[in-house]
Amino acid sequence: MLTRDEYVEKKKGQLDDWNAEMGVLEATILKNKQAAKKNIRAQMELIRIKRQAAEKQLGSIKSAAQDTWHHLKVETDNVWLALKDSMTEFRSHFS
């Protein structure tokens, strides 16, 4: 089982990867037709909201006591899964 710090680092790395990928995808948006841009921008905004929720949840775990952070892990994993699913769906538009 991961320690709290290992868990936080793992999740932080995933967020960093997704942030970088979002930058690449946003650059791709600029190459799309205007009609598609509006839909893509709306999807990007939903992903940003989910990313902010993930960052907030990660902050909660970082500030939790060493012996209680496990209680937040399930909720964090659910938030992460929602963000991951959104990224996968969004990514599918460009493959």
pLDDT given for residue 40 in this prediction: 80
Going from the C-alpha of 27 to that of each of 12, 32, 62, 75, the distances in angstroms are 23, 10, 32, 32
Q: What backbone phi and psi angles, to 5 degrees, belong to 67?
A: -90, 0
pLDDT given for residue 95 in this prediction: 64
pLDDT given for residue 53 in this prediction: 93
Q: How far apart are CA 22 and CA 87, in angstroms?
A: 9
Query: For the segment 3-17, what is each residue's pLDDT rounded down to a tens digit?
Result: 999 999 999 999 999
Query: For the segment 32-85, what is each residue's pLDDT rounded down to a tens digit?
Result: 766 677 778 888 899 999 999 999 999 999 999 988 888 899 999 999 999 999
pLDDT given for residue 94 in this prediction: 67
